Amino acid sequence: MTTEAMIGHGTRFQIYDADASPPAWVTVAEIVSVTPPSMTRDTVDATHAESPEKWREYIPGLRDGGEVSLEMNFIPDGAGTTTIMQTFNKDTVVTCRIIFPDGDPEASPITATVWQFSGFCTNFAPAAPFDNKMSATATFKLSGKPQFLS
């Protein structure tokens, strides 16, 4: 069987700018890597005095959308840095999406697989090493259920 593996080149990270006129999706420039949501689920101990053979019993608990992280080239006055800083400085939840390179991201509607979520930027960490390119990481905490659209 032939593999269906793909490289991530062409993956995009976008933030919806509801304040723009007209509102629009803004692609964060110079993204090097995107780590999609790291979703988790709580486990709730439901063990009781009559649990069979003294084995703990669990039930599924609340889900957590986790975090999305980005690595990017850090251009101090660049569009990517500006977009992330504006998002970090907002005290509201924003809508974001990751567009994977498995379809046409320019088609209407988009034919690529999309992971869309609400969240807010919790971390933006630039680095300026003397002997390498400047880079930055950004982290977004998800709020609510992410949508995986394919």
| Containing structural domain, residue 17 | 12-39+66-149
pLDDT at 122 over 80: yes
Classify residue 75: in a domain, yes or no: yes
Classify residue 101: in a domain, yes or no: yes
Residue 111: per-residue pLDDT: 87
Residues 136, 72 contacting (CB under 8 angstroms): yes
Classify residue 104: in a domain, yes or no: yes
User: In this prediction, what percent of the chain has a pLDDT beyond 70?
Assistant: 100
Read off the pLDDT of each residue in 104-120 and give the average, rounded to a whole number.
87
pLDDT at 108 over 80: no
pLDDT at 107 over 80: no
Between 94 and 104, name the one with better pLDDT: 94
DSSP type of residue 60? E
pLDDT at 136 over 90: yes
Residue 71: per-residue pLDDT: 97
Question: Whole-angstrom Cα distance, residue 137 to residue 30?
Answer: 12
Classify residue 49: in a domain, yes or no: no
User: Tokens standing for 1?
Assistant: 């069987």
Classify residue 7: in a domain, yes or no: no
User: Tokens standing for 69?
Assistant: 């992280």
Residue range 39-69, pLDDT digits in tens: 999 999 999 999 999 999 999 999 999 999 9
Classify residue 76: in a domain, yes or no: yes
CATH number of domain containing 118: 4.10.410.40
| Type and span of the H or E element at 30 | none
Number of helices and strands in the chain (H, E): 1, 10
Domain count for the chain, please give it. Answer: 1
pLDDT at 141 over 90: yes
Residue 16: per-residue pLDDT: 96
The whole-chain average pLDDT of the chain stands at 95
Classify residue 32: in a domain, yes or no: yes
Residue 76: per-residue pLDDT: 95
Residue 20: per-residue pLDDT: 87
Classify residue 53: in a domain, yes or no: no
> For residue 70, what pLDDT band results from cuts at 50, 70 and 90?
very high
